[in-house]
Amino acid sequence: MEKSLKAILLPYQERIDRELRQFAPFPRLAFLRDPISYFFTLPGKRFRPLITLITAENFCNDYEDAIPAAVAIEVLHDFTLVHDDIMDDDHFRRGCETVHTKWDVGTAILSGDAMVALAYQKLLTAKSPHLITMIEAFTDGMYVVCEGQARDKEFETRDDVSLNDYLPMISQKTARLIALAFELGYLSSSTATDLLAALKEMGEHIGLAFQVQDDLLDFVADEKTLGKDVGSDWRRKKKTYVTIGYQQKVKINPQLPQDLFALPEFSAARDAVVQAGIVDEAQQFIQERLHKAENIAASINFSHPVLHHLIKFLAERNY
C-alpha cells in the first residue's frame, strides 16, 4: 500500500482498531477472552469496515453513526477467518499464528461462534431508522458466506469445477461481505434506500476482484509480504481461479504439464501457471471488475477520494 494511501486510511483504521480494543468479551472467562482479544489485535487492512465508514461519509458527510455497523462487519469477517483457518489447516494469518494453532481447534471454533454474537451485539447499538433492514441484510450476508464456504468445500471432491461454477461461489464466500459493507454504511446514516441495489452490485464487482487477486497472490506473492503461506492452495489441490484456469489451458496446449497438482515442487507449479498465461488473464479479470465498480460509483455520485485510492490499491496489491 503506497505511503500516501496509508496516511489517508490511518484515521479510519485507528478508529476501528480502537473500537475493537474496547471490546472486553467475557472478562471472567480467559478461555474465550484471550483468543478473541488476540485475533482482534492482529494487524489487518480493515477493508470492510473502512468501506462502511467511507460510504456513510460520502452520502451523509459523517461516519459516526456507522461505527457500530463497521465494527460488526469486521467482527463477522473475523469469525469467518478463524473458522476458515481451521478448515484449511492454515497456521498463519496476517503474519501471526492462527487461533487454532496458538490454542486448539475447539477453542478456535468456540471463539468464532462467540464473535458472531459480539457482531450482532454491536450492530444492535446502531441508531438508524433502517435497523431491521440492516439486521436482515447482516443475517443474509452471514448465511450466504457460509453457503459459499460449503460450495468451496464441495469443490474439493470434484474434478469438473469450471469458472462458471467458481465465480458464483466466490460471489457468496467473498463478495457478499464486501457488498454488505457498502449496504450497512448507507443504511446506517441515510434516510433513503434507493441506492442499495447499486451499492450491492458495486461491492460484488470489488469482491470478485479481491478474491481473484487473492488466488493470484497465493501463486506469485512474496510470503513475508503476504503474511501467510504461499502455495497453500496448490498444496491442498484447491480449486481457484488460477488452478481452474490452468486446467482449461492444458486442454488446448499439450506442451504444458498436464497435472498442475502432480508437479513435485511449488516453484514448478508457479512457473507452469506463468507459462500458461493465467497470471495475465487473472489481472485482466481484476481490472475489468474494478472498472465496472468505478462506473457504478460515478453513476451514483460515490466520489469519496478513499474509494478511488482503495480501488487503485486493489488493482495493484501484493498482500
Looking up residue 35, the CATH number of its domain turns out to be 1.10.600.10
* Number of domains, the chain: 1
Q: What phi and psi values does residue 102 have, to the nearest 5 degrees?
A: -70, -35
The mean per-residue pLDDT over the stretch 250-271 comes to 94
**Under 8 Å between Cβ of 311 and 290:** yes
pLDDT of residue 2 exceeding 60: no
Q: What element of type H or E holds 97?
A: strand 96-97
pTM of this structure = 0.92
- Average pLDDT score over residue span 204-224: 90
Task: State the pLDDT at residue 9.
Answer: 86
Measured distance CA(50)–CA(129) in Å, rounded = 22
Asked whether residue 222 carries a pLDDT value surpassing 80, the answer given is no
SS3 201: helix
Cell of 156: 474439493
Indicate the range of 77-81, 123-127, 233-237 predicted with least confidence: 233-237
Mean per-residue pLDDT, 108-128: 95
Range of the domain at 24: 3-316
Q: What percent of the chain has pLDDT over 70?
A: 95
Looking at residue 22, its pLDDT comes to 84
Output 254 or 302, whichever has higher pLDDT: 302
Contact 259, 272 (CB under 8 A): no
